[in-house]
Amino acid sequence: MKLIIKFFAEITIKSPQVRKRFVSQLRKNLKVLLKPIDPELRINGNWDSLEVVTGDDPALQARVIERLCNTPGINHIHEVREYPLGSLDELAELCVERFAEQLRGRTFAVRCKRIGSHPFSSTDVNRQIGSRLMERTGAAGVSLTDPEVQVQLEIRQQRVFLIQARHEGLGGFPLGTMEPVLSLMSGGFDSTVASYQMLQRGILPHFVFFNLGGRAHELGVRQVAHYLWERYAASHRLRFISVPFEGVVAEILQNVDNSQMGVVLKRMMLRAASHIAARRGFQALVTGEAIAQVSSQTLPNLAAIDQASDMLVLRPLITTSKTEIIRTARRIGTEAFSSSMPEYCGVISVSPDIHTNARKVAAAEAGFDFSVLDEAIEQATSTDCCDLELDMEGSEVETVQQALVGQVVLDIRHPDEEEAKPLVLEGIEVRKVPFYQLNSRFAELDPGRAYLLYCEKGVMSQLHAQYLLDRGHDNVRVLRLPRG
């Protein structure tokens, strides 16, 4: 089978030098992606398309087409049958043979693209083939505006390609034609779609994850990052960088004014990401922020966040609605990951300031110990995205709906939340240990007791229980009280 790859339209309007570079990069990417599927596969190129020749195995062909459809830089792919060019009469008979079954009782139009010098025009081809198909196939008629079947063919010099099927591609520019960036990845809808949009423009987004709640959250984000790499960027090596940010969160909660906590957290993330990006030669940062989606994403607050770094911050979703973001996630296959991703709500101001400024932020950060941020950056770990699946196994956290006498319930909610709705369980010992102190204080507890972690939604308790379980504390479970 032969496949004709048509380039993304913006590639075709580049200068000859740039276009040549883009096509060369796409060809390199395809060699990396397709050879493992079919070692005998051949890729031939010319100015306006690439040709891929595969074997006759239908399953193998389907895998090649799927990979091509998910490769940046490709507008669409034609499945074709190739023949030597004879006379127009012979070409018309060939079309009758190949399209008769499809046309019976249906309207059609003939579309011919011609490259080279020939004694006939594309219009001559359309007319002669159309006339012969009407005479010999039992077609319902010709419809140039809304045909039920399009008979498509390309004539290239002395070759004819009859197009059997068309597959839509990803569009965009080939990966590797733009500079690498560092994408702040939480695993939710916004950051995942923002990273995908970078891929679609030929930009390599390495991922940085700020771990606010333990291994369980990181496992979920690793799955999303691995999926994006494997499906859309496997031609290149991407890195997944994890930064332990629990200490930073604790410092913010204890030493930053409540109204400024959300903005300060984003500024700390931007500082850390900028440091990592500069050290690794990445050219910009990418976030999934959109105007007014949450309190930290007003124009004044985004301006205050940007002031924490001199590095360029790209926000591809800045004016995109949540509905459109979710629709894109569904189309690219990340909706299931993001919809099940735990939402970390540990740093939410009770009354967030939506019109902050440099003076307020400076005052809020005056008591912050920046050595905590420096330590988090130094403890960052880096994993190749191709290896992420090798480290996704974790112990399953047991969840119970009732505490038993002798067990200790650890209420890990923020003190403000705990104070507004105290937890009282008759006959059960309840201790208040805020989540940002849990990991340091747990070692002080009696290892002979059984502990149940509690929070309102169950997300924080699940994350921290997984964290403790991974460190060998097998006396931890999660308490989820029935609602009502």
Strand partners, 478: 399, 453
**Active site (annotated) includes residue 455:** yes
Distance, in Å, from the CA atom of 306 to the CA atom of 315, rounded to the nearest integer, reads 11
Tokens of 117: 């010098």
Burial pattern 12-35, b for ≥16 Cβ within 10 A else e, equals eebeeeebebbbebbbebbeebbe
Q: CB 245: neighbour CB atoms within 10 A?
A: 27
Beta strands 408-411; 451-454: pairing state: parallel
Amino acid occupying residue 389? E
Strand partners, 184: 208
Query: From residue 177, how far is each of 9, 227, 280, 288, 381 by CA, in Å?
Result: 15, 22, 18, 22, 27
DSSP state of 290: -
Distance, in Å, from the CA atom of 153 to the CA atom of 164, rounded to the nearest integer, reads 9
3-state secondary structure of 324: helix
3-state secondary structure of 421: coil
CB of 107 closer than 8 Å to CB of 149: yes
Distance, in Å, from the CA atom of 229 to the CA atom of 205, rounded to the nearest integer, reads 9
**Where are any strands of DSSP class E within 24-97?**
42-45, 49-53, 74-84
Q: Is 347 left (phi over 0), alpha (psi -120 to 50) or beta?
A: beta
Tokens of 443: 């070692």
DSSP state of 341: S
Active-site position among 95, 112, 385, 455:
455
The gap between the terminal CA atoms of the chain, to the nearest Å, is 62
Q: How many CA atoms lie within 13 A of 231 on its CB side?
A: 15
Distance, in Å, from the CA atom of 292 to the CA atom of 313, rounded to the nearest integer, reads 17
Active site residues: 455
